[in-house]
Amino acid sequence: MKKYKFTISGNDYDVHIKDIEDNTAEVDVNGTLYEVVIHNEIKASKTPRLVRKPLEKRPGEGEIKKKETTGKHDVTAPLPGTILKLNVSVGDVVTEGQNVLVMEAMKMENQVQTSKGGEVISIKVNVGDAVQQDDVLIEIG
């Protein structure tokens, strides 16, 4: 079958593999016949491995920055409409979820609430004003 030449510790060997059956091979080494048991073959991976250098982290990179809060909060129009009623005045203290005004939009009355509590700093609209979506209606601090 196959012939090989080996040099082990300075000695040369002519190896001829005559027959392989299951896990046993008949091997001729320099004219002497041997029966050899073959164990599981260890194969080198043919798939290349990707080796990456670790990324160097720059200062501040990948950190989540918290939004700085000034304590001020705007109540904005949820959709276009007309102001029907103001429920608060400048200087009033409001709580989270409190109804601060009523507006008409799409022929329906809508209660507009504040998402944070605080003191009413200014009111940017009057009854009867037409507003667009996201217009600032009231400032709360």
Between CA 55 and CA 61, with CA 59 as vertex, the angle to 5 degrees is 65
Question: What pLDDT is attached to residue 72?
Answer: 86
CB 2 within 8 A of CB 18: no
Mean pLDDT split into 10-residue runs, the chain, 141 residues:
87 89 88 87 70 74 58 90 95 94 92 93 94 94 87
* Residue range(s) of every CATH 2.40.50.100 domain in the chain: 73-140
**In terms of Cα–Cα distance, which of 94, 98, 103, 109 is closest to 126?**
103
Question: What pLDDT is attached to residue 17?
Answer: 87
CB 100 within 8 A of CB 85: no
Question: What pLDDT is attached to residue 55?
Answer: 73
Q: Find out if CATH 3.40.50.300 is the number for domain 73-140.
A: no
Question: What pLDDT is attached to residue 45?
Answer: 66
- Helix boundaries (H) for 6-123: none
Question: What pLDDT is attached to residue 53?
Answer: 79
Half-sphere exposure of 20 (CA within 13 A, CB side): 8
- 140, amino acid identity: I
